Amino acid sequence: MNSENIGQPKLNDSDIHHHTDIAVNNDVNTDAPSAVHTLDQAPVRIQLALDRMTIEQAIDMAGQVQEDVEWIEVGTSLIKEFGMDSVRRMKEAFPHKVIVADIKTNDNAKYEFELCFRAGADVATVMASAPDATLDLCMQTAKSYGGIVMIDLLNVTPQRAEELRRYTEAVLCKHVSKDQQEHDGQALGRKSMPDLQLQDTHSNDPDSTRRAHPSIAAAGGITLDTLPSILQDRPAVVIVGSAITQAAHPAAAAREIRSRITEVMQTTQKGAYHV
């Protein structure tokens, strides 16, 4: 059902991914556990970032750590090198995981987002610096496919980040770039980021504040040491790449990250993790 041929008519409702919370119900292998089943156990989702490798290597890596990650990101480099086949094959390999197409759209939103969702993505990314018209089209296109928009806050001002709170159905991603990490030695948790509050501080009822604000994701050199600081912002999604993919034992590294998240959350007041 997934095709990157834009000339095709739009998918019918029966072909579109339908999300409950963030999870997707797929028509394939419906007896397998759905991503929705992990939500109660993991209010903070781990998103595995896969970049600078082949599709086969990415699928193999995801397979090694799938028990401890809920979201699988087809990274920008994979999409640029291998196209939508990278998204399609990842969804085929992991039909009940949430697949993120990190396409980093800046323009031509409808075309690029349709490519992602037709290839099987559940989430697609757009840059916060894109024009409002582009962001609006991303939101509209994602809604028509039952998908989710992640807005990448890379290199935007706190004022711009604050403006984007109006996209209450989106995920806003605090992000320290790969170049900042490698060239400047920066990493999330050790660098001041735009202050985005997830919780309505005037209410202790999570249901009353749900979707009052967008959800938050965090990305950029995240390690076991920086997790406690990052989790203070109550992100719904923690995006981890090299701390898992470059570890000597990726599965063990993923388990350690999951364990650290659980440990920190047990000492943290339950709050609005959303998504």
Question: Which CATH number does the domain housing residue 239 bear?
Answer: 3.20.20.70
- Residue 31, CA atoms < 13 Å, CB-side half-sphere: 0
Q: Enumerate residues 6+ apart whose C-beta is below 8 A from 170.
A: 139, 148, 149, 150, 151, 164, 214, 215
User: Containing H/E element for 44?
Assistant: none
21: in domain: no
The pLDDT, as a whole number, for residue 267 is 81
92: in domain: yes
Q: How many helices (H) does the chain have, and how many strands (E)? A: 11, 10
Q: Between β-strands 18-20 and 171-175, what pairing exists: parallel, antiparallel or unpaired?
A: unpaired
Q: Between β-strands 171-175 and 215-219, what pairing exists: parallel, antiparallel or unpaired?
A: parallel
271: in domain: no
Q: Are 236 and 273 in contact (CB under 8 A)?
A: yes
CA–CA gap between residue 20 and residue 261 (Å, rounded): 23
The pLDDT, as a whole number, for residue 268 is 72
- Residue 171, CA atoms < 13 Å, CB-side half-sphere: 31
User: Containing H/E element for 123?
Assistant: strand 123-127
Six-digit token pair at 43?
């209010």
Cα 125 to Cα 116, 130, 260: the distances in Å are 10, 11, 27
Nearest CA to 34 out of 118, 105, 98, 90 is that of 98
Distance of CA 106 to the CA centre of its chain: 17
What pTM, to 2 d.p., does this model score? 0.78
26: in domain: no
CA–CA gap between residue 47 and residue 95 (Å, rounded): 15
The pLDDT, as a whole number, for residue 214 is 93
CA angle in degrees (0–180, nearest 5) for 50-55-56: 110
57: in domain: yes
141: in domain: yes
The pLDDT, as a whole number, for residue 188 is 52
Domain that holds residue 83: 43-266
Q: Are 72 and 104 in contact (CB under 8 A)?
A: no
The low-confidence residues of the chain, meaning pLDDT below 70, are 1-42, 175, 177-211, 269-275
CA–CA gap between residue 153 and residue 161 (Å, rounded): 7
Count of structural domains, the chain: 1
The pLDDT, as a whole number, for residue 42 is 58
5: in domain: no
Angle between helices 109-118 and 84-93 (to 10 degrees): 30
14: in domain: no
